[in-house]
Structure 1
């Protein structure tokens, strides 16, 4: 059983009461959230996911939003934020941190299976050793919990280490292995060397995210990315993901056929008109709202992002539920990396 099994109507029927209960929990425990709801006139009952109140993502950078006492805060996560701008802050207690780590592991099991796979990291080990850990380094460290025999494709100076990659592929020939990296890194430092040197990556499962703006500069979209990896390296199991620190532990994972991102059973998306804020039908672009039952220690269960997206269909793909794509940032929106998704998941994901 994976987290991608529920038809949309069944999932929504389960999510609405859980999310409504979270709304009331946070209304009671988080005074700033209570004031927002009061100012907007939001009150139950809620008859759909789209009817639930949401918070704009930037509030997590400008306000201290938590629903647990200070002494219960186990970890404070921060996003990479804008250059010079304040980062988002997410307050976790131990129960929330553990639940989010379990949920992330369950989501990835849908494509990785139950056992830890050998792992090829398309980055440098030095990115995980910096005194001030970057969002990219945090992403790599978090994802390393899902692999073993970690091998880095770049040396400490950031140059391709073809010897290390060849050794990894030789050790694990004939068995599946995990490849992780940010999208532009995997293109420049995995696809190109593999094509040039004739490396066979057919045993890999590639998990990647972020960096599509840099890819667009090279006229490479998701379809081209998948096609070239398959044709030139034999790598066909490729999964993009979408997520953010404001809903740590929740990722929206690309299906096996590359036809879109899917929502796990504990989460969903709503696409809203950026002028009226109303939900728009499939096929109409709008702002992405992400919802999840995981944020119990802070009111992040319904967050309006600054990303544009579109739902392509419902219950019509390889997995049930909504099938959607991210189209890019709202103009002037802050540029942040999806590496925040894995920040500080740490040992709980083991």
Structure 2
């Protein structure tokens, strides 16, 4: 089944023109929904029980009525729509306290769409560069045994500019993964003495904690020009210690000498592999490859923009796994008031996560590693 509308959507050159791509998005979602319905018996059963007919999708209201799948469902069920041998990449979420992880497979066409998306968004946000760069990753070093999506994404980010060196806060050793933030600190100090730009990537909590430690030690650096501080993944279980973005960016500038205009935040999920990049005013505008619906926590009905509720994300990107409509455990507000950056696409404000005890993120796993290291 050729998906000409999905292909056209992911090759669209203006990543935030939602109004002009609404018809294209609906047609793309119909293509994907019909494919999932015909290839995936679980999705067929879910749609049939909900009396939802994917062949009749014709407008955005139909997508609002589309049955959504909670991210927790993927931790207990595989929703694959093609044989595993056709999946070039298999990624997992970070897992739960019982070790259960979401399983997501990506086929060639889906990966190609993701590449087109990365190229377009990277150009728009000026993330592509030909200058050799030193990367400092506040996350996991890639390993054949590590199939977490966050590790794959972090490594993929290091291809946006030629990597002269990669330093990981969580390295694979003979004993398993171990955290060494002192290595990261020394890498930052060393990089500040050279001219090669630095790009950091990782959880804002760990970045913030290290910067606070460096400030307390009186360490103030000036990273080379064109350096970027990028974060992603949210504050997770450290939400009670989360600071206002402006406070975070001020600390970055004070300790690393990097202005807030060179701070970039990402948002995404293994169950929704769309890249959300904040604008220069640090708002997550919804790109053309997806749509966001905010639903009431109790009734799960759509609520107006400006109100807080559960985030339901839609995309036709993936064929191999049924990810067309995913209900996250994120509490969000979808804003449609004008943004100073000039983009008219609505933007997401991530408030936090609902209290589902079964969900433990990769940040929690990293925290356990840090505690383990401190006990030694």
Normalising by the smaller structure, the TM-score range is 0.7 to 0.9
User: 3-state DSSP class of the match of 2:81?
Assistant: coil
Please list the CA deviations of residues 168-218 of structure 1 after superposition, one character each: whole Å capped at 9, or x if unmatched.
233326xx5422222122112346426832212463222211251455443
The yes-or-no answer on 1:5 pairing with 2:20 is: no
Q: Deviations over 1:6-57 (max 9, x none)?
A: 1x32232321111122111111111110100000111223421424332222
Name the CA shift for 1:314/1:25 in 2 (closer, same or farther; >3 Å): farther
- How far apart, in 2, do the equivalents of 1:275 and 1:129 lie? 40
Aligned counterpart for 1:326 among listed residues 350, 356, 359: 350
Give the corresponding residue for 2:335: 312
Deviations 1:53-89 (A, max 9, x none): 3222222222221222344233322211211142111
Indicate how the Cα distance of structure 1 residues 41 and 4 shifts in structure 2: closer, same or farther if over 3 A, else same: same
Matches within 5 A, 1:1-350: 3-6=14-17, 8-43=18-53, 44-48=56-60, 49-117=63-131, 118-123=133-138, 127-128=140-141, 132-133=145-146, 135=148, 137-147=151-161, 148-152=163-167, 158-161=180-183, 162-172=185-195, 177-190=198-211, 192-193=213-214, 196-201=218-223, 203-213=226-236, 215-218=238-241, 220-231=243-254, 233-236=257-260, 237-248=262-273, 250-258=274-282, 260-314=283-337, 316-318=339-341, 319-332=343-356, 334-337=359-362
Q: Which residue of 2 aligns with 1:344?
A: none
> How has the CA–CA distance of structure 1 residues 330 and 209 changed in structure 2, closer, same or farther, with 3 Å as cutoff?
same
More contact order relative to length (CA 8 Å, sep ≥ 6): 1
8 Å CA contact retained: 1:183, 1:210: yes
Task: State the alpha-carbon separation in 1 of the partners of residues 107 and 242 from structure 2.
Answer: 43
Determine if contact 1:2/1:109 at 8 Å carries over to the other structure: no
After alignment, is 110-119 or 34-43 more displaced?
Answer: 110-119
Count, aligned residues: 332
TM-score normalised to structure 2 length: 0.78
Structure 1 unaligned blocks of 5 or more: 340-350
SS of 1:81 mapped into structure 2: coil
Name segments (4+ residues, structure 1) moved above 6 Å. Answer: none
Q: CA deviation at 1:154?
A: 5.2
TM-score (norm 1): 0.83
* 2: CA distance, partners of 1:132 / 1:143: 20
